[in-house]
């Protein structure tokens, strides 16, 4: 695998040794953190979406089962399709417009990962944290309800800002708030296109959390290669805040 697989403990798997923080972790000043599959479990939301998607497909005469839909979604993710659900629908013979309508039909069902609070507390005790996430208007309420917002000095949520990753402006907003050079900041996220590539381009330490729906992906180009890969926020926190 091009990003050397996934670290299962506190020791990382290195894919690119070029970043200065890798040589001296004491230079790390702050951490930017994605939300989906890093802090919250997206599986309940995806499961509900798939259930509704199958209903729509069958109503339109496309008789497929859960296995076929999951396979189409996986293939779209592996192919780095810009709109995974629409790509999967097209591959199955459905209307590619329908998936986005389905996403709007039900409330988000993400839930905090059971270890998120402890991992964030560990990081926040050593470093300033900023959330940089493509999330709907539900996200702030979810974080506040779980008490996770207290770990962050700033929440940058795309639907509140009308700016979404990979737009560099949202990363620059985080860096401006932190007031430190990008070379002293780590970005943790699950997506090569939204998290790893733009943060690397700005000079940040790019860390992939390999879990969730997009865990099957590999980098589409060298610029998407993470500096480090972990399988959870917990293990990333152990390395970043030893």
Residues 110 and 40 sit within 8 Å (Cβ to Cβ): yes
Q: Map out the domains of the chain as residue ranges.
A: 13-42+111-240, 43-103
Residues 221 and 242 sit within 8 Å (Cβ to Cβ): no
Selected residue with higher pLDDT from 18 and 205 = 205
Cα separation of 228 and 22, whole Å?
A: 9
pLDDT tens column, 217-230: 999 999 999 999 99
pTM greater than the 0.85 cutoff: yes
pLDDT at 216 over 50: yes
pLDDT at 4 over 80: no
Residues 42 and 212 sit within 8 Å (Cβ to Cβ): yes
pLDDT at 15: 62
Cα separation of 53 and 84, whole Å?
A: 13
Residues 156 and 131 sit within 8 Å (Cβ to Cβ): yes
Cα separation of 45 and 78, whole Å?
A: 20
Mean pLDDT computed over 39-43: 97
pLDDT at 202: 98
pLDDT at 13: 63
Strands (E), 75-168: 111-112, 128-133, 154-157
Class of domain 13-42+111-240: alpha beta
Listed range (5-14, 31-40, 170-179) with the worst mean pLDDT: 5-14
Residues 152 and 145 sit within 8 Å (Cβ to Cβ): no
pLDDT at 6 over 60: no
Contacts 24+ apart (CB under 8 A), 46-54: 46/213, 47/109, 48/106, 48/109, 49/85, 49/102, 49/103, 49/106, 52/102, 52/105, 52/106, 53/85, 53/89, 53/98, 53/99, 53/102
Cα separation of 17 and 8, whole Å?
A: 19
pLDDT at 42 over 80: yes
Per-position DSSP letters for 162-201, written without gaps between them:
T--TT-HHHHHHHHHHHTS-GGGEEEEES-IIIIIHHHHH
Residues 123 and 129 sit within 8 Å (Cβ to Cβ): yes
Number of H helices, E strands in the chain: 11, 9
């Amino acid at each position: 695998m091009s990003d050397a697989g996934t670290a299962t403990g506190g020791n990382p798997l290195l894919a690119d040794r070029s970043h200065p923080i890798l040589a001296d972790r004491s230079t790390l000043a702050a951490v930017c953190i994605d939300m989906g599959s890093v802090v919250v479990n997206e599986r309940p939301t995806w499961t509900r979406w798939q259930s509704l998607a199958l209903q729509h497909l069958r109503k339109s005469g496309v008789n497929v089962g859960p296995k076929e839909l999951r396979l189409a979604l996986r293939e779209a993710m592996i192919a780095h399709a810009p709109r995974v659900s629409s790509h999967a629908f097209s591959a199955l013979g459905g209307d590619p417009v329908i998936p986005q309508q389905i996403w709007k039909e039900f409330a988000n069902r993400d839930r905090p990962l059971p270890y998120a609070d402890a991992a964030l507390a560990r990081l926040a005790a050593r470093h300033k944290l900023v959330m940089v996430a493509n999330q709907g208007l539900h996200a702030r309420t979810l974080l506040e309800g779980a008490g996770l917002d207290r770990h962050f000095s700033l929440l940058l949520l795309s639907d509140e800002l009308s700016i979404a990753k990979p737009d560099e402006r949202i990363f620059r907003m985080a860096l401006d708030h932190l007031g430190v050079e990008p070379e002293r900041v780590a970005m943790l996220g699950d997506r090569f296109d939204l998290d790893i590539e733009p943060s690397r381009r700005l000079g940040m330490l790019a860390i992939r959390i390999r879990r969730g729906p997009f865990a099957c992906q590999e980098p589409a180009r060298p610029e998407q290669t993470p500096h480090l890969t972990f399988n959870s926020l917990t293990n990333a926190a152990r390395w970043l805040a030893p």
